[in-house]
Structure 1
Amino acid sequence: MKILFKSFLAFTLLFTQILFAQTLNSTFKVKGECGMCKERIETTAKKAGAQTANWSAETQQLTVEFDPAKVTSDAILKQIAAVGHDNERFRAPDAVYDGLPGCCHYERTPSFPKVSETEHASSTVSQAPSLKENNQFYVRGNCVSCKNRIEAAAKSAGAGSAFWDPEKQIVTLDFDESKTSADAILKKIADVGHDNEKYTASNAVYDALPGCCLYDRALPLGVKSSLVHMEEAPARKDFTQHADHVDKTIEEVKVVRLGEATALNKKETGLTFNISSKELLKAACCNLSESFETNATVDVSFSNAVTGTKQLKMLGLDQKYTSLTKELLPSIRGLASPYGMNLIPGRWIGGIQLTKGGSTVTNGYEGITGQINTELLKFKDQPESAVNVFGDINSRFETNITTTSLLSEHWNQTILLHGNATLAKMDTNDDGFLDQPTGNQINAAYLLNYNGLDHNGLGTHFGISFVKDERFGGQTSFDKNLDRSQQSAYGVGIDISKFDIWNKTGYVFKGKPYQSIGWMNQFTYHEQDSFFGKRNYLGNQKTFYSNLVFESIFGNTNHKYKTGASFLYDAFDEDYLTQNFQRTETVPGIFFEYTLTGLKYTLVAGARTDFHNLAGTQFTPRLNFKYDLFPKTILRLSAGRGFRTANVFAENQQYFASNRQIEITQNGGDIYGLKPEIAWNYGLSLQQELKLFNRKATLVADFFRTDFQDQVLADLDLSPNKLVFYNLEGNSFANSFQTQIDFVPAKNLELRLAYKYYDVQADYEGGRREIPFMAKNRGFFNASYATEKTDKGAFWNFDTTVQIVGPQKLPNLNANPAEFRLPEYSASFATLNAQISRNFNKNIRVYLGGENLTSYTQERPIIDATNPFGNYFDGGMVYAPIMPANIYAGFDVSF
């Protein structure tokens, strides 16, 4: 009987344990980056005892089901950290993290609070950075709307009273335990979209929250987003690196995926690509003009066969119609247009933001086709110095030295040095002219930053830079050391000096993180002394720019606004041949911009009025609209107006090395007798995230149209001996269509494919014609592959880019003798660039690459090269590469 009783008791206990055994469903923060991370995290969790495991790269959250009688959450998270993934309780060993494949290297800062195993309780409360009392619970949120929603949900679940503190991220509850429970209340709060220490809101409910309520789900509980996001941003730690002020920086930074080479910002209203330094390392990238070789949005081409400079085109139009800024201050404009891209070294660049279509009115009136903003290197998490050395087979050599350091708790500095030289005289096509000019450049910059946002709400950024660039080209027999009057050879000399000094200061009002004021100021001096054969061109430009911006809200953060005033002063003094052209432009302006955020949409509507002393009063409206059709489908619309004053000499120097005589047909304007250029730009884009090969992919299709209300046309067709400038009489337009897909078909392999179609025409004298040197069809392919890291952190990178350029309309030279004419259209061609790099550890990188490996070159880049002082000489008819395959090598060492 005793044996029977004992057996029955044991069976009963076992049955009770099985019957009442709990399977917990918990969510934890785990860092990762890609599909490989997902597989590693989930597999490790299951091996550690979890019954199910699901990790999301988007939310950085791991949801697991496990039996607490068999395993603890600490044991699971500890194993996940052991294989290389930081989480909210344990940090991965550095050696293990370094050994992960390159695509798995997530950003480790800001780190989750590190708590020892013995200090951990089973609840995620112990991870929170602030203390709380009984009946207080961590609940995520952002704004007043969140507060109302959280407190209402708590009361509907039975709480007698509820108070949520947005700063501490804590809700204080008062409830009768006989009628409800804390779990029931917190579950109800999660049901309306707010993660808390017990429950996680569903993605569908979270995604449906108003934009102002979209808190950062990747942060530790109890940490308010606005205090952490600045630390997350690559190359944006200082708030002044963004346009207007702090709050805008925080808002944009939090939506950028860390570690991506090029990221299309899902939350941005405009079509904006964030290009990191990781993308720039895929190619030689010696200066800004070469920073877009792996980017499908921008077209890069040589502008002529004598100076060797490169120009950008976007949406089918020349570089001059794109706003090119540095630190969101005017940079490459005016007299700097033809060579300014060569004056920003690639190794100085911390990041690039590229926006297609009309940009915000707070940044000015000139950007018609978009904006490209360059950010210089800044101090990140720790002091860092780096040395880069580069050389190619054409005797081009470069050295860069960069250093960032912390001066005190709030002050840090950046020192940037650059030098380059092209030594050998190369003439690979034996036409008697140098393929690229010889010369040298010395470039230096100093940046000083103060970040007191978490201290007194004040931040400031100061910068100063100077560059000296000398280039000599022309015939191989030209001697730069001899006076031109003492030799018969055709020579080209370009001497540029440029000085910039700027400051950006911002203040966030205490207790009002949505309200701030920022003030930006910059002075620029640019001087060019140049000659092209017997032609002299001297240019001098002094520019002062100031922009004051105030931002706040109407009622709540669903209704934001910016308003302010700007002032632009330009003094130009140009000498061309024997003529002198002087003018001073003063442009005070005011602007206002309103942002409306809804459940699935964002509307940004702005307008500015500028009082130009020569172009008259100009009204510039712009509108951007984003609508989330589905969770992974985004529609964007844009429309806006822009205007600019043309600098006909500086912007057309590619035609100076020719026999063409410049004529200006004046039209009653005050800038060279010409009227300003005015255009409207309209755009539509669709962004779709999808799965290919069971991996994430992004497809983007966009269409933009630019209609000129007025334009300064440079007519090359009236006569082979003339370049005539006149104002548009009729219509001028540019249609641009692009579709691009980025995806990862296999482990560590990234692919990017794009197709572009352009239709660019204008009503010239004599009828409508296509704009020359613009291919209607272009194809693009880029592939990047990284090997697995070794135990020492070494790995290989392989990158290749193929560009296919269709036929281009060429200027009409039929008045020339037959041997000096061009066909109506150029032939199609393809170029291939490739690079192999080896990272030996975190500090040493060696790379070897090639440009134009197909060795396709234009057959006759210079017309009548044997008689450069004759009637038919023309070095500006360039539509294809002029140099064959170029091999380069270099190394980077960081400390």
Structure 2
Amino acid sequence: MKLYISKFLLGLFLLSTQFIFAQNLSKKQFSVKGSCGMCKERIETTAKKAGAKEAVYSIDTQTLTLEPNSSVSTDEILKKVAEAGHDNEKFKADDDTYKNLPGCCHYERNQEPSKTEINLSSKKENEFYVKGNCGSCKARIEKAAKDAGATSAEWNAEKQTVTLNFDPTKTSTDKILKKIAEVGHDNEKYKSTDPVYSELPGCCLYDREIPFGEANPNIHFEGGTKSEQNEQNNHKSSNENHTKHEKNIEGVTITGGKAATSLNKKETGLVFNIDKKELLKAACCNLSESFETNATVDVSFSNAVTGTKQLKMLGLEQKYTSLTKELLPEIRGLASAYGLSFIPGRWIESIQLTKGGSTVTNGYESITGQINTELLKHADTPETSLNLFSDFNGRAEANITSVSKINDHWSQTFLLHGNGTFGDTDMNNDTFLDRPKGTQINTAYLLNFNDLDHSGFGSHFGINFIKDERTAGQIGFDKKLPQNQQSLYGVGIDISRFQVWNKTGYVFKGKPYQSLGWMNQYTYHQQDSFFGLRNYSGKQQTYYSNLIFESIIGNTNHKYKAGASFLYDGYDEMYLSQNFKRNEIVPGVFAEYTLTGLKYTLVAGARADFHNLAGTQFTPRLNFKYDITPQTILRLSAGRGFRTANVFAESQQYFASNRSIEILQNGGEIYGLKPEIAWNYGASLQQEFKLFGRKSSIIADFFRTDFQNQVLVDLDRSPQQLTFYNLDGKSFANSFQTQWDFIPFKNFDVRLAYKYYDVQADYLEGRREVPFMAKHRGFVNLAYSTNKNDKGGFWSFDTTLNWVGKQRLPNTSTNPDEFQLPTYSESYAVLNAQISRNFNKKIRAYLGGENLTSYYQKNAIVDFKNPFGNYFDGGMVYAPIMKANFYIGLDVTF
């Protein structure tokens, strides 16, 4: 039904477009001053209230196109526009009215509005389109042009062009326009990075979504709809480890300077963009280590035997967060336990982190949020990078990335990763390896096609293969021998994974607001493993398809998306002697509407998914943003999500124990259990202000997750048992976080955060706190860099302190005294630090240390001396299991 409605609305829009075209002769254009989207909204609304049948304002041309009613004159309309604060060719706004406009609306008033109609297509050969607003923009653009070698430069705010004169033997237009982009101004050749743009004064924040006249900027396209590109925040690589957005989004930096982490100021939801600069603050060997300098995501060891890490967000486990790659499903199903190690850190171009329910266009599984990873894709010039890494405990890895253009439309990326852990690390002297030994080979190839300016088509193709082998357990265990032929306890995990995907999109000619995107992905995942005498193996085949159409209703203040998706999951698991097979087939439809007002944005969406095992599921989601002032932003969200629990794959951290597994079936079709369903509600307040003359930002947010149904993992019924059953009662998670970012002095970024969690559930024995979840957490991140020298060299110093409060531990009171754990753990602090030296734009070396406080859990394995006994348990981990560890690395770009 929603698809029919979408087609009906589209038909109405096309009919209205034809009608408007037929009425063009009655329209008139007038010069009106304005600078941003808020100006556009104000001017058009005022004109219509004054009697205009139609009013369309263009920020680029500074013109208002009017079709007045017969009962009102254009002079009357333009007078009302001036009274609203906008100078025009007939009337000038009152000074007080102008001053009361928001800062972003303060256009340049020192020039009289032109009374001639503007034609952008008539620019001269030495004119180039450059975005800007005011006198400050003019000075910045002209200075940048001259710094790049221009003998003269004149920027015209009305035409949005810069006229250049230069000696072609000393510089070029490309060099000059690239320099202009580097200081924050999009132009017909280059796009400014989002962090640089967001650092411009408020009066300089031009509208980045409205295209230039006939010369559209070169926007790289990765497939899908334009709004999908907006969500992806795709970046280009650069030698300075800064990145360039492939599709604009307007953001506000929360760390200052060329920000490593930015909060998108225009995004309705709470979306953080983490770029490559943030990832370089730590070792970041894979995705699980990419959040160690981030306050939102909690990273911890999952158990004391396999050495794997897990993420938690909003007080809930990783499985409730949608983890995607290139906006395609990634870490889910059988990949839940080890998938974070399958995305090397040096492959990552950017990460988009959304708190709370994400858009319905990305599926139904997101409950606490979404983490999307973008891989390296484009570079202006061919670029090959080598990364070498080693720590002092036998871990080594190498990464080779190569990004190059094939021609004007095609580009390609080669990605290769290899790692190995060869040393026997046992820092707590319990005879068990603190992390597994083994190797991983990981390779990917990406192919991109971009012909938006001509045919309107773009496409992105990717293929990825992974072979991961690891051995854990007691030192001396021989994986070549069967477990029943040796006395030492061992763990073996072998994983093979293959993926192929494609995203193709089309932007309709002459309608940049209307597009069609289609995404497809196939994944094959196989795991063969054993934990002592306990074996677990599984195969998963997944096919995912998502088709999205996007357009507007009347104007860009009313946007909508509509589409359909299809998901197939085929599972074949073997645990001990039991075989579990199932096929999940989920066709779905969705629609989303976006309403943009003068100070608010509302995004309302819903989807219906027809799950063959879980039944029909309806998923509504709502996000609302209100700009109280340009510096104070309120966000509200609410939404539903559902998922099917993979009880074996998602609980492998408890397999390295002698707990027997029991499933209390409840009539469901998946392991006899019903699907998990939860509602998430959130509110956040963002406040910007000046401190020490520099930008500062405080963000406070509160989220609550209420489970309508949940598959509980009960560790308390008996220390020798692991029980799964559906919730009978209430289960909730309250999450409060406040974060303050400021810059005390130049090049020194400070980030402080505090988090409070209240996570409880009704287990069979009554309501209890969920184990391994600290109520209180503190976070400090300090980053300082020196100024660059003539060769582009500089030093960087980064340090992060995480304080974790006490956590409830599972009940072990029935164990013998020596194998009992306390009710609550100790609180502790973990300190990480790194020093890096960029010798120039191509060579970087770094040295760092993890867990420099050397706090580790001394009783990480219960009854480690008798791993085949009743009380052995390697899953009771609440803190680091390794003492201080040091590492070195080298980055070389060719």
TM-score, normalised to structure 2, is 0.78
AA at the equivalent of 2:655: F
C-alpha change, 1:368 and 1:419, in structure 2 (3 Å) is same
For 1:415-814, what aligned pairs fall within 5 Å after superposition? 415-814=414-813
Cα deviation for residue 361 of structure 1 reads: 0.4
Check the 8 A contact 1:261/1:275 in 2, yes or no.
yes
Structure 2 equivalent of residue 238 of structure 1: 221
**Paired residue secondary structure (2:372):** strand
- Partners of 1:867 and 1:459 lie apart in 2 by 59
For 1:147-226, what aligned pairs fall within 5 Å after superposition? 149=43, 191-192=85-86, 205=101, 217=133, 221=157, 222=159
AA at the equivalent of 1:681: N
Structure 2 gap segments, 5+ residues each: 1-28, 67-73, 107-130, 142-154, 162-184, 196-218, 233-245
Structure 2 equivalent of residue 253 of structure 1: 249
- Partners of 2:58 and 2:730 lie apart in 1 by 59
Per-residue CA deviations over 1:433-484 (Å, capped at 9, x if unaligned) read 0011000000011111111112221111111111111000000020122232
- Partners of 1:192 and 1:372 lie apart in 2 by 42
Of the structure 1 ranges 407-416 and 871-880, higher mean CA displacement relative to structure 2 is found in 407-416
**Paired residue secondary structure (1:519):** strand
- Partners of 2:477 and 2:371 lie apart in 1 by 38
- Partners of 1:623 and 1:136 lie apart in 2 by 39
**Paired residue secondary structure (2:340):** helix
AA at the equivalent of 1:670: E
Per-residue CA deviations over 1:630-677 (Å, capped at 9, x if unaligned) read 120000000000000000000000000001000000000000000000
C-alpha change, 1:706 and 1:397, in structure 2 (3 Å) is same
- Partners of 1:381 and 1:137 lie apart in 2 by 38
C-alpha change, 1:495 and 1:229, in structure 2 (3 Å) is farther
Per-residue CA deviations over 1:573-614 (Å, capped at 9, x if unaligned) read 000000000000000000010101111000000000000000
Check the 8 A contact 1:241/1:328 in 2, yes or no.
no
AA at the equivalent of 1:359: S
- Partners of 2:45 and 2:608 lie apart in 1 by 44
C-alpha change, 1:822 and 1:396, in structure 2 (3 Å) is same
- Partners of 2:388 and 2:593 lie apart in 1 by 47
Structure 1 gap segments, 5+ residues each: 1-134, 174-179
- Partners of 2:383 and 2:188 lie apart in 1 by 22
Structure 1 equivalent of residue 199 of structure 2: none
Structure 1 equivalent of residue 181 of structure 2: none
May I ask how many residue pairs the two structures share in their alignment? 744
C-alpha change, 1:229 and 1:823, in structure 2 (3 Å) is farther
Structure 1 equivalent of residue 372 of structure 2: 373
Cα deviation for residue 149 of structure 1 reads: 4.0
C-alpha change, 1:658 and 1:162, in structure 2 (3 Å) is closer
- Partners of 1:795 and 1:145 lie apart in 2 by 42
Structure 1 equivalent of residue 384 of structure 2: 385
- Partners of 1:623 and 1:542 lie apart in 2 by 32
- Partners of 2:697 and 2:728 lie apart in 1 by 42
Check the 8 A contact 1:227/1:454 in 2, yes or no.
no
Tell which structure's C-alpha radius of gyration is larger. 1
C-alpha change, 1:652 and 1:228, in structure 2 (3 Å) is farther
C-alpha change, 1:311 and 1:228, in structure 2 (3 Å) is farther
Structure 2 equivalent of residue 329 of structure 1: 328
AA at the equivalent of 2:86: V
Cα deviation for residue 205 of structure 1 reads: 3.3
Per-residue CA deviations over 1:208-244 (Å, capped at 9, x if unaligned) read 879xxxx974797545999869844579943438885
Check the 8 A contact 2:47/2:55 in 1, yes or no.
no
- Partners of 1:298 and 1:452 lie apart in 2 by 38
AA at the equivalent of 1:669: G
- Partners of 2:718 and 2:57 lie apart in 1 by 75
**Paired residue secondary structure (1:240):** coil
- Partners of 1:256 and 1:227 lie apart in 2 by 20
Structure 1 equivalent of residue 214 of structure 2: none
Cα deviation for residue 192 of structure 1 reads: 2.1
Check the 8 A contact 1:243/1:328 in 2, yes or no.
no
Check the 8 A contact 1:779/1:805 in 2, yes or no.
yes
Of the structure 1 ranges 456-465 and 229-238, higher mean CA displacement relative to structure 2 is found in 229-238
**Paired residue secondary structure (2:259):** coil
Cα deviation for residue 323 of structure 1 reads: 0.3
C-alpha change, 1:491 and 1:730, in structure 2 (3 Å) is same
AA at the equivalent of 1:384: E
Structure 1 equivalent of residue 123 of structure 2: none
Cα deviation for residue 696 of structure 1 reads: 1.1
**Paired residue secondary structure (1:653):** helix
Structure 2 equivalent of residue 33 of structure 1: none
- Partners of 1:243 and 1:148 lie apart in 2 by 25
TM-score, normalised to structure 1, is 0.78
Structure 2 equivalent of residue 849 of structure 1: 848
Structure 1 equivalent of residue 111 of structure 2: none
- Partners of 1:205 and 1:776 lie apart in 2 by 44
- Partners of 1:141 and 1:805 lie apart in 2 by 47
Check the 8 A contact 1:242/1:248 in 2, yes or no.
no
Cα deviation for residue 881 of structure 1 reads: 0.3
C-alpha change, 1:189 and 1:515, in structure 2 (3 Å) is farther
Check the 8 A contact 2:436/2:470 in 1, yes or no.
yes
AA at the equivalent of 1:730: G
- Partners of 2:291 and 2:230 lie apart in 1 by 29
Structure 2 equivalent of residue 25 of structure 1: none
